[in-house]
């Protein structure tokens, strides 16, 4: 992350008076307001679980290998070594996380089976920071990274066990925002927005286009902006932000949530 973006995200407003929100921040807020509180308000010490460490390590190895391929130089990046190295560093940064061999092996298998010659992206980790929903009447800036950009669209890699239901994926805020950002950056809609399941090698097309999905996203952004205004008022008036402003949304996502213990009071 550049210093500029880091500064913008940690200040109430950007230089233009517009708040900067990331696509992942939006996704966290809509999935569970309480999780947002832990992550972004309290900034609770974040302990990555094995699945998240595996995901980070796979992403890093694929990214580094594609940068190597696209450099045109003699290729000397071994993605398996990058995976192993990143995994080790991530584990050292997550004291308390118990190493699970099968999780490590699963990520290693994903990298080994990755088809680096099948399709080569025009850009990897494409960063964007754009006025939302447009430059005419912006309500905020949206910042994010797209894993892989192609002339025809974009790909986001996923290392999870489960695949999303198509109907749910169609309302995934991160993917709607990627679709929107691609259109803003390149002047045309992507032909395909792909949720790439690295465990099975399957490409799942996300149906994230259309005015209705953009309106849904605008409403979610407005809700977060409104909530942030209220939190600032509380901070100024009483010096703290009550956790109750951010309600829990208990469900299956709690199983993978890093804040399960402080939130629910128990591990199981
Ligand atoms: S444990 Fe569940 S309810 Fe609590 S913050 Fe995480 S996702 Fe939300």
| Cα(60) to centroid(ligand 1), Å | 27
Could you give the 3-state DSSP secondary structure of residue 148? strand
Cα radius of gyration rounded to whole Å, the chain: 19
Cβ–ligand 1 distance for 35 under 6 Å, the answer: yes
- The pLDDT value given to residue 188: 97
Contacts of 227 (CB under 8 A, 6+ apart): 29, 33, 245, 246
Place of tokens 């994903």: 110
Burial environment of residue 251 by CB neighbours within 10 A (0 to 12, 13 to 18, 19 or more): exposed
- The pLDDT value given to residue 14: 57
Cβ–ligand 1 distance for 257 under 6 Å, the answer: yes
Cβ–ligand 1 distance for 264 under 6 Å, the answer: yes
Mutate to test the pocket of ligand 1, among 42, 259, 261, 265 (most ligand atoms within 8 A of CB): 259
How many whole angstroms separate alpha carbon 249 and alpha carbon 33?
Answer: 7
**Residue boundaries of the structural domains of the chain:** 1-44+123-268, 50-113
Mutate to test the pocket of ligand 1, among 52, 260, 265 (most ligand atoms within 8 A of CB): 260
Burial environment of residue 31 by CB neighbours within 10 A (0 to 12, 13 to 18, 19 or more): middle
Place of tokens 């709607």: 176
Cβ–ligand 1 distance for 260 under 6 Å, the answer: yes
Instruction: Locate the ligand 1 atom nearest the alpha carbon of residue 31 and give its number.
Output: 7
Instruction: Locate the ligand 1 atom nearest the alpha carbon of residue 254 and give its number.
Output: 2
Instruction: Locate the ligand 1 atom nearest the alpha carbon of residue 253 and give its number.
Output: 7
pLDDT means over runs of 10, the chain (268 residues): 43 68 91 93 81 95 94 85 97 89 97 95 96 94 97 97 93 95 97 97 96 96 94 88 92 87 82
- The pLDDT value given to residue 48: 82
Please give the C-alpha separations between residue 147 and each of 25, 36, 190, in angstroms, as whole numbers. Answer: 17, 23, 14
- What is the token pair recorded at 179? 């679709």
- The pLDDT value given to residue 255: 86
Mutate to test the pocket of ligand 1, among 30, 263, 265 (most ligand atoms within 8 A of CB): 263
| Cα(29) to centroid(ligand 1), Å | 11
Q: Name the pairing type of β-strands 192-197 and 153-158.
A: parallel
- The pLDDT value given to residue 4: 41
- The pLDDT value given to residue 62: 97
Cβ–ligand 1 distance for 34 under 6 Å, the answer: yes
CA 124 to chain centre: 14
Please provide the size of the chain in residues: 268
């Amino acid at each position: 992350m550049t210093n500029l973006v880091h500064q913008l995200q940690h200040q109430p407003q950007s230089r233009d008076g517009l708040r900067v929100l990331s696509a992942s921040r939006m996704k966290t807020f809509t999935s569970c307001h309480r999780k947002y509180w832990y992550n972004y308000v309290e900034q609770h010490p974040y302990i990555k679980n094995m699945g998240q460490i595996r995901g980070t390590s796979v992403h890093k190895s694929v990214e580094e290998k594609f940068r190597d391929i696209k450099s045109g130089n003699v290729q000397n990046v071994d993605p398996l070594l990058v995976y192993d190295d990143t995994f080790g560093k991530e584990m050292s940064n997550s004291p308390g996380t118990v190493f699970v061999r099968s999780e490590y092996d699963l990520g290693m298998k994903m990298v080994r089976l990755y088809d680096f010659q099948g399709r080569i992206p025009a850009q990897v980790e494409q960063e964007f920071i754009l006025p939302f929903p447009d430059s005419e009447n912006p309500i905020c800036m949206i910042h994010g990274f797209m894993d892989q950009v192609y002339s025809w669209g974009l790909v986001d890699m996923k290392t999870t066990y489960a695949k999303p239901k198509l109907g749910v994926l169609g309302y995934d805020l991160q993917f709607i925002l990627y679709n929107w950002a691609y259109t803003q950056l390149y002047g045309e809609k992507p032909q395909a927005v792909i949720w790439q399941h690295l465990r099975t090698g399957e490409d799942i097309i996300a149906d994230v286009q259309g005015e209705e999905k953009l309106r849904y996203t605008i409403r979610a952004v407005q809700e977060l902006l409104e909530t942030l205004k209220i939190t600032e008022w509380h901070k100024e008036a009483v010096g703290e932000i009550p956790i109750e402003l951010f309600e829990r949304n208990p469900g299956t996502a709690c199983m993978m949530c890093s804040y399960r213990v402080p939130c629910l009071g128990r591990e199981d």
